[in-house]
Amino acid sequence: MVHDGQLLAVFNSAHRVMKAESVLKARSLPILLIPAPRALSADCGLAIRYNEDAGDDVIRVLTEEKLLPAFVCRRISGNRYETIWNEDGSLPS
């Protein structure tokens, strides 16, 4: 389950998301691997959920490990999500 304000890192392959989970957990970051919500286009069907206060650390570690997600989004209500970060590091237009 994803609560309002939580972030989801969505990857383009199951291999990448599983590797990212392993790396983030090894660094003791508070993340959870979950099925990607149906409202999101997730090629691999999985996402990493985390609270916004861990967001900078999550992206920093994934950048160091060259495991950036395809995009990061925030649940805003119900089945509505907003993309807040793209793979190239840009904000959505």
Q: Write the DSSP assignment of 69-92 as a string of letters.
A: -SEEEEEEETTEEEEEEETTSPPP
The domains of the chain, with CATH numbers, are 7-86 (3.30.70)
pLDDT of residue 90: 66
pLDDT of residue 77: 85
Burial call 40-54: b when 16+ CB within 10 Å, e when fewer: bebebebbbbbeeee
Amino acid identity of residue 8, one-letter, is: L
pLDDT in tens, the chain (93 residues): 889 889 999 999 999 999 999 999 999 999 999 999 888 876 778 999 999 999 999 999 999 999 999 999 999 888 889 999 887 766 665
